[in-house]
Amino acid sequence: MRIAITRETDIPDPLRLARYERAPELGPRILFFSGGSALRGTCRELVRYTHNSIHIITPFDSGGSSAIIRKAFAMPAVGDIRNRLMSLADQSLKGNPEIFDLFAHRLEKDQSRKELRESLDKLATGRHPLIRRAPDPMRKILRNHFIQFRDAMPETFDLRGASLGNLVLAAGYLANRRQLDPVIYLFSKLVEVRGVVRPAVNKNLHLAVELADGTVIVGQHKITGKESAPLASPIGRIWLTASLDDPEPVDVSIRDKIRKRVAEAELICFPVGSFYSSVLANLLPAGMGRAVAANSCPKVFVPNTSADPEAIGLDVAGQVARLLELLRRDASDALAAPDGRLLNFVLVDSKNAQYPGGLNLKAIRSLGPGVVDCRLVSPESFPLIDSGLLAKALVSFV
């Protein structure tokens, strides 16, 4: 499909793809507002074309082993950050597959406290098989982080099902004056992460929503439909709170370094993933919408092609309206801009994809964005978007 941005371009664009594939270190700065694992495959395809993608990740996960770490240390969630770092790591480098295996490994759920503590001791002392496989100097760095975590964790800490990568990042957070950026930077360099990964905010905050029926729910794990029953009513509004026990909204602003990352993007993407907790959650901190509006680069929304328990009651046009509403809340002066500074395109595959709730192309266009309709779903990926096709489409915008 041919579209007009500041020029006419094909989606996908074979010439642009070939040029970026020859020199991915010079590839485009595509910024994603996301979280979770929905972009894992796309990231692994994307590094073929660019080593300069930017990933703003939600640190608000409150379920699983993340909840235990957050409660013990009053810190942001690191699981989605770990996931994205490893998705972007150069798997061709010696030692990186071994690091990937270690970061992805979880301790057993059915072992005793003593057995789990022994496993952690083996990681700290270098006797665990996973740590023995890691090459130096990474082995020593990882051991030091496991020692730091072991020494800092409360005596009652529950290690069942704990992600080793999360333990490492938590230890680095504690060792760096409760800052995530230094430990992210360290491991990005050590495993050659082909992109930039940053949390939306470096704060210990949680998500809260009010449903259309008036019910207030606090905690991301209660919203996604993965660890609790699916929502019985559509989400009406979403905000940030300081505690799982108190729905009172809190104000938080983005840091200058995040504002600069948004400003340098050549394409801003609101991608597939849990609509509220992975995508919109990133836009809640004050200043994020203004940062998006201030950048004149193209902005594109890629809706899910499979059921999202968070988006009940919304077709794709409804999702576009919610996205614009949240951006507009922080960047109201940009709404009237004639060049559509908040959202330019919605990327869809009307022929091969099935959009739960419907697509409604006419309603999408009435909201302002243009529709780019191209092949995104392959026979092998159906009903999901094909990671390779999505990566090629996004790179072609720039």
Residue 231, pLDDT above cutoff 50: yes
39: CB partners within 8 A, 6+ apart: 32, 84, 87, 271, 272, 273
Q: Which two tokens stand for residue 190?
A: 């050590």
Let me know if residue 298 belongs to a domain.
Answer: yes
Reported confidence tier of residue 340, pLDDT bands at 50, 70, 90: low
What domain range is 317 assigned to? Answer: 2-58+252-396
Residue 253, pLDDT above cutoff 60: yes
- Give the DSSP letter string of 85-101: HHHHB-TTSTTHHHHHH
Residues 359 and 293 in one domain: yes
Mean pLDDT of 88-110: 88
The answer to which of 181-185, 224-228, 245-249, 383-387 has the lowest mean pLDDT is 224-228
Let me know if residue 185 belongs to a domain.
Answer: no
| Cα 268 from Cα 179, distance rounded (Å) | 26
Let me know if residue 164 belongs to a domain.
Answer: yes
Residues 161 and 32 in one domain: no
Residues 303 and 390 in one domain: yes
Query: Cβ atoms within 10 A of the Cβ of 285, count?
Result: 22
The answer to which of 35-39, 76-80, 325-329, 338-342 has the lowest mean pLDDT is 338-342
Residues 155 and 259 in one domain: no
Residue type (1 letter), 92: S
Residues 95 and 47 in one domain: no
Q: Which two tokens stand for residue 54?
A: 């930017």
Q: Are 280 and 322 in contact (CB under 8 A)?
A: yes
Residues 262 and 315 in one domain: yes
The answer to which of 143-157, 190-204, 268-282, 330-344 has the lowest mean pLDDT is 330-344
Give the residue from 124, 155, 179 where a domain finishes.
Answer: 179
Residues 158 and 107 in one domain: yes
Judge if pTM exceeds 0.85.
yes
Domain CATH code at residue 332: 3.40.50
pLDDT (0 to 100) of residue 108: 95
Residues 271 and 362 in one domain: yes
Closest CA to 205 of 319, 286, 145: 286
pLDDT (0 to 100) of residue 94: 74
Let me know if residue 226 belongs to a domain.
Answer: no
Residues 290 and 160 in one domain: no
Let me know if residue 193 belongs to a domain.
Answer: no
The answer to which of 40-44, 89-93, 99-103, 205-209 has the lowest mean pLDDT is 89-93
Residues 143 and 50 in one domain: no
What's the number of domains the chain is made of? Answer: 2
Residues 305 and 357 in one domain: yes
Give the residue from 160, 179, 198 where a domain finishes.
Answer: 179
Let me know if residue 368 belongs to a domain.
Answer: yes
Residues 40 and 115 in one domain: no
Give the residue from 133, 161, 179 where a domain finishes.
Answer: 179
The secondary structure element, H or E, covering residue 289 is: helix 288-294
Helix (H/G/I), strand (E/B), else coil: 40: helix
Let me know if residue 230 belongs to a domain.
Answer: no
| Cα 320 from Cα 138, distance rounded (Å) | 44
Let me know if residue 309 belongs to a domain.
Answer: yes
